Amino acid sequence: MALKEDLEAVPAKPGVYLMLDREEKVLYVGKAASLRPRVRSYFQPSAALPPRISRMVEQVARVDFITTSSELEALALESNLIKEYRPKYNVKLRDDKQYPWLKVTMGEDFPRVYIVRRPQKDGSRYFGPYTDAGALREIFRLLRKVFPIRTCKKKLAGGEKAQRPCLNFHIGRCPGPCTGRITPETYRDTVQDLIGFLEGKTEKLSNALKREMEKAAEDQEYEKAAAYRDKLRALERVLARQTVVSVAGERDVLGWARQENDLLIQVLQIRRGRLINKVDFYFVLEDPEEEEEILRRFLLQYYDEQDRIPREILAPFFPGDRGTLVAWLREKSGHAVALLCPKRGEKWQLLRMAGENAAVRLAEEARRRRQEEEGYAEVQGRLQELFALPRPPRRIEGFDVSNFHGDQAVAAMVVFEEGRPRKDAYRRFRIHGVEGINDLAMLEETVRRRFARGLKEREESGGLHTAVPGGTAGTEKEKESGFAEFPDLLLIDGGKNQVQAVLRALTGLGLADQPLVGLAEENEELFLPGCGEPIRLPAEDRALRLLEYIRDEAHRFAVTYHRTLRQKKLTGSALDRIKGIGPRRKKALLTRFGSIRKIKEAGLEELMTVEGITEDLARAILEEL
C-alpha cells in the first residue's frame, strides 16, 4: 500500500528518484526529466526490464524522490547520491582498485608532488589516473630529476627559520625550501613548469633545457651543462613513453570493446598532439541494453574526478541524454565540451585505434582471468584433499591479532573468494574482554564474536536458523551481510595452541564442524584440530603459497589497524594532559606542525603563531613535551 501511495505522489517534474527496500536501504538511484512517467515505468506489467533491474524492482518497498529545477541539476544530484549510497543495482566498475594519480599540493607555499590513490577536492592539482603503477613510479622518478620539487610532509611557510636539509637536497631531487635557500616565488616557477609538462606543454620545456645546456657549455660551466644534459635525457625518456598523433589539440578518445558480458573502456588522453596516458576500465554487462547506462555512469564518474576536462571527447556513441551531459561538462569545466562520434577522417582513425587497443586489452584480461580460474581450481582441489573438506573452498577467512604488551589489542579478519581478496568483506575488531598479553584469548574472543554475529544475522534475516559449518549463507540477504556467510575454510595464524583456542570458541557456538586450519610461521607447518602431527608441504606448493598469502594479509591488516590506534593514542594523550588544550586547539597544533615531535621541536614564538595559543599555553606545551 505504501509503495502505491509513493507512486501516486511522484510529480511530473525533473529530479532524482531513490528505490528503497523494506529496511530503507537504497537499492537504486536514477534521474529523469519527468519523474512520474519514468518511475511508474518500472512497475508496469508490460515493462521489458533488464534482469538486473527486474530483480531490483522485486525488492522495492518504497520510492523517494527529490525534485530539481532542471535535468542538469538532477544529473549532478544523481551523481552525488550514487557516490554517497553506492546502491547495489546501479552499474559500477567490476573491480574496486583505485588507480594512482600524481598530486601537486597547490595550497602550500612550497607545493609537494607525490603519488596518491584517490583524488580529492582540496585545491590540489591531480594528473591521471595511471593504469600502470610501476610505469608511473618510473615517470615520477625521472620527472624529479627534471623538476626538483619536495615530496616530504614538512609544514613549510615562507620566512621560517632554516632547517637541516635531507638527502634529496644533496642529490639534487629537492631545492631545499626547508633551508631557506629558495623563495616561494622561485620554487613555484619549477612547479608551474612541472604542471605545464604534465598538461602536454613539452616542446617549450625541452627547447629551454637545450638552450641552457648550450649556454652553460659556451660559458665553460661544464658541471652546469652536464646537469642540464642529464635533465634533458630524463625528459626524453619520459617523452619516449608518449606517442605523437597526427591530430593536434586536446581530447579524450574512448575505445569501446565488448566480449560476451565483459566490457572495457580505454581512455586515450591526447594533449597538444601527444598521447600522454591511457587507462582501462572494466565493466560486467548483464543485458545489452545496459551499454548506454554504463557509458553515462562512466562519463559522470570519470570526469567528476578530473580537474581539467578537454574540449573534445570522442566515442563510438553517446547516451540519449547527451545534451544534459554536454551541459554538465560545460558547467564543471568552465568551457564548451563537444561529444563527438566521428565517422570519417583523422578523428575517426583515432577512435578506431582506441577501439582496437581496447579489444586487445580485453582479450588479454579474459585470458589472464581464465588462467587464474584454472589455476585456482587446481588449488581448491588440493586444499579439499589435504583437509578432507566437504567441498572445494570457495571462501577462506584469515584471522590474526596485534597488540603491544597487551595495549591497543586488535584483531583482523580478511576474506578471500576464488583465490582473490574481497576487501569490502574485511573486518576489524577491538579486543574488549582480555587483559594483559594473551594472544590465545584474544583470538578466541575474535572468532567467537565473528561467528556469534553471523548466527544472529542469519536468524534475523529469516535465512538459515541452524548452523551450517563450512557452508555459505542461503539467501540473497545473507550473502550481502557482513558475517552471515560462513567460510569454507577458516585460517588462523598460529599452531596447535591457537587452533585449540579457536575450536573452543566454535564448539561453544555449536560450530565444531567448521573447517579450521592453523599455519605456524616458524616452519610453515599446518595444524588441524585433533591431529597430533602437523602437515608439512614443499615451499613451492601452490596451496601452501595461497595460505601464506592469506595469513600474511591478515597480519598486515591487523598490524595496520593497531598502529593507527597507537598513533591516535600517542598523538592525543600528550596534548590532552595540558590544561587549556581542547579538541580545537589540539587540531590546530597538529594541522600546523603535523606531529607531536614537530610540536616539541618548535620554539615559543612559532607555537604562538597557532590560533588560540597564548604565551602561557606555549610555555606549558614545551614544558609538558
Q: Judge whether residue 468 has pLDDT over 50.
A: no
Q: What is the pLDDT of residue 562?
A: 67
CB 275 within 8 A of CB 243: yes
Of 55-59, 65-69, 515-519, 597-601, the poorest mean pLDDT is in 597-601
Name the residue with higher pLDDT: 215 or 514.
Answer: 514
CB 197 within 8 A of CB 209: no
Mean pLDDT for 567-587 is 68
| 426-466 per-position pLDDT tens digit | 888 887 776 667 778 888 888 899 999 888 888 876 654 33
Average pLDDT, the chain: 81
Q: Which residues contact 155 (CB under 8 A, 6 or more apart)?
A: 592, 593, 594, 598
Express as a percent the part of the chain with pLDDT over 90.
14
pLDDT grade for 157, boundaries at 50, 70 and 90: low
Partners of 278 in beta bridges: 268
Q: What is the pLDDT of residue 482?
A: 67
CA atoms within 13 A on the CB side of 241: 18
| 123-141 per-position pLDDT tens digit | 888 887 877 777 778 778 7
CB 268 within 8 A of CB 354: yes
Q: Which residues contact 531 (CB under 8 A, 6 or more apart)?
A: none
- What is the DSSP secondary structure assignment for residue 90, as one 8-state letter? S
Q: Judge whether residue 406 has pLDDT over 70.
A: no
Mean pLDDT for 34-58 is 83
What count of other Cβ atoms lies within 10 Å of the Cβ of residue 527? Answer: 22
Q: What is the pLDDT of residue 198?
A: 78
pLDDT grade for 347, boundaries at 50, 70 and 90: confident
Compute the distance between CA of residue 24 and CA of residue 38 in angstroms, rounded to an integer: 21
Q: Judge whether residue 41 has pLDDT over 70.
A: yes
pLDDT grade for 491, boundaries at 50, 70 and 90: very high
For the chain, counts of helices (H) and of strands (E): 20, 20
Compute the distance between CA of residue 215 and CA of residue 466 in angstroms, rounded to an integer: 83
| 307-341 per-position pLDDT tens digit | 789 999 999 999 888 888 999 999 888 899 999 99
pLDDT grade for 415, boundaries at 50, 70 and 90: very high
Phi-psi map region of 345: left, alpha, beta (phi>0 left; psi -120 to 50 alpha): left
Q: Give the distance, in angstroms, between the CA of residue 62 and the centroid of all CA atoms in the same chain.
A: 32
Q: What is the pLDDT of residue 416?
A: 92
CB 329 within 8 A of CB 303: yes
Name the residue with higher pLDDT: 326 or 577.
Answer: 326
Compute the distance between CA of residue 557 and CA of residue 336 in angstroms, rounded to an integer: 46
* Residue 616 host element (H or E): helix 615-624
Q: What is the pLDDT of residue 464?
A: 45
Q: What is the pLDDT of residue 160?
A: 58
**Closest among 401, 484, 382 to 439, alpha carbons compared:** 401
Compute the distance between CA of residue 404 and CA of residue 393 in angstroms, rounded to an integer: 34
CA angle 430, 436, 440 (to 5 degrees): 70
Q: What is the pLDDT of residue 476?
A: 43
Q: Judge whether residue 477 has pLDDT over 50.
A: no
Q: Judge whether residue 1 has pLDDT over 80.
A: no
Name the residue with higher pLDDT: 274 or 391.
Answer: 391
pLDDT grade for 239, boundaries at 50, 70 and 90: low
Q: What is the pLDDT of residue 155?
A: 74
Mean pLDDT for 240-268 is 77
Of 387-391, 410-414, 434-438, the poorest mean pLDDT is in 434-438
CA angle 444, 449, 454 (to 5 degrees): 130
**Closest among 279, 194, 187, 269 to 231, alpha carbons compared:** 194
Q: Judge whether residue 67 has pLDDT over 50.
A: yes
Q: What is the pLDDT of residue 320?
A: 84
What count of other Cβ atoms lies within 10 Å of the Cβ of residue 434? Answer: 19
**Which cell is 276 given?**
600522454
Q: What is the pLDDT of residue 256?
A: 92
pLDDT grade for 570, boundaries at 50, 70 and 90: low
Q: Judge whether residue 76 has pLDDT over 80.
A: yes
- Report the relative pairing of strands 251-259 and 125-127 from DSSP bridges: unpaired
**Which cell is 94 given?**
567490476
Q: Judge whether residue 391 has pLDDT over 60.
A: yes
Q: What is the pLDDT of residue 96?
A: 45
Of 39-53, 101-115, 325-339, the poorest mean pLDDT is in 39-53
Partners of 459 in beta bridges: none
**Closest among 453, 441, 555 to 501, alpha carbons compared:** 441
Compute the distance between CA of residue 362 and CA of residue 265 in angstroms, rounded to an integer: 9
Compute the distance between CA of residue 373 and CA of residue 561 in angstroms, rounded to an integer: 31
Mean pLDDT for 406-422 is 82
What count of other Cβ atoms lies within 10 Å of the Cβ of residue 38? Answer: 17
What is the set of domains in the chain, with CATH numbers?
2-85 (3.40.1440.10), 101-244 (no CATH), 251-363 (3.30.420), 391-565 (3.30.420.340), 577-624 (1.10.150.20)
pLDDT grade for 154, boundaries at 50, 70 and 90: confident
Name the residue with higher pLDDT: 602 or 88.
Answer: 88
CB 21 within 8 A of CB 60: yes
Q: What is the pLDDT of residue 473?
A: 42
Q: What phi and psi, each to the nearest 5 degrees, are found at residue 517?
A: -145, 145
Alpha carbon distance, N-terminus to C-terminus of the chain = 65
Q: Judge whether residue 74 has pLDDT over 50.
A: yes
